[in-house]
Amino acid sequence: MGNWIENEGLSIFVVLVWLGLNVFLFIKFYDVYNHKPRYMYSQKLLGFALPLARAPAACLNFNCMLILLPVCRNLLSFLRGSSACCSTRIRRQLDRNLTFHKMVAWMIALHTAIHTIAHLFNVEWCVNARVNSSDNLSVALSNLEDKPGETYLNFARMRRKAP
């Protein structure tokens, strides 16, 4: 057991740090877009789908940046060749670069699915805010840009559900 921890400890540590960063980014950006007053009007139109689209988008940015590092051959060769900075355990971790690359790819696929589903909810909520006139604030926000010189918040411009 001690040998296994010594041999695999760095790999497990790297994966746990990576997972922890993904969880941190998701929670932080979900909280920012769910509770900040600057997004109040967007939240009114989009509901929970706004933070649910933005949080995986932040994780997607992080993982898309990270996916190419494990397969950069020149960087890996440089790190593997410089014995001053790399011990045997770190070199073993560098040899498992494709496993980490695949794990990052699966995380990208997961966050892409969450992000896409949240955008489907965004469209539905925007159309409902434009069509239904039950809430005065949603109606006012949806009617922005109906007059010259205004910018719009709701991209749904028709007052019927199906075009």
- For the entire predicted model, the pTM comes to 0.75
Which range among 58-62, 97-101, 111-115 shows the weakest confidence by mean pLDDT? 97-101
Name the token pair of 69. Answer: 């590092």
pLDDT of residue 137: 57
pLDDT at 140 over 60: no
CA-to-CA distance for 155 and 141, rounded, in angstroms? 11
Write down the domain spans for the chain. 2-40+51-120
For 149, what's the count of Cα atoms within 13 Å in the CB-facing half-sphere? 0
Q: Are the C-beta atoms of residues 47 and 23 closer than 8 Å to each other?
A: no
